Homo-oligomer: A and B are copies of this chain.
Amino acid sequence: MTTLHAQTQQHLRRIVEQIERLEDEKKALTDDIKDKYAEAKSTGFDAKALRKIISMRKQDTDTRTQEQAIIDVYMHALGMTPMEKVWSEAAE
C-alpha cells in the first residue's frame, strides 16, 4: 500500500478541513433558511406558497439567462456567426 509524503498528507488534511468548514457554513445557511420559513409560517403565511413564489422568481432570472443560450444555439444552427449576432442585436 502506498503512503503519501508528509507534505502531501498535510496538504490533504488542509483541503479536507477547508471543505468541511465551508460545508458547515453552508449547512448553517440551510438551517437559517428553514428557520425563516418556519417563522413565516408561524406568522400566518403559507410556507409552501412562499416557496413557490421564491422558486418562480428564481426561474424568471434563470429563464432570461437561458433565453440567450437558446438564441445562440438556434443562430448557430442557422449558420450565423457571433459577429452577425452582435450586428443583429445592435440593429434591433
Contacts and interface: CB of A to CB of B under 8 A. Distances in A.
B1 A73 contact: yes
Interface in A45-79: 45-46, 48-50, 52-59, 61, 64-65, 67-78
Name the prevailing secondary structure of the A interface residues.
helix
Given A3-B73, A15-B40, A69-B90, A78 B64 contact: no
Contacts of A36: 15, 18-19, 22
30 contacts: A1-B76, A1-B91, A1-B92, A2-B69, A2-B73, A3-B76, A13-B78, A15-B50, A16-B53, A16-B54, A16-B57, A16-B78, A19-B36, A19-B54, A20-B57, A20-B58, A22-B36, A23-B33, A26-B30, A46-B67, A46-B77, A49-B77, A53-B74, A53-B80, A56-B84, A56-B88, A61-B84, A64-B84, A65-B87, A67-B90
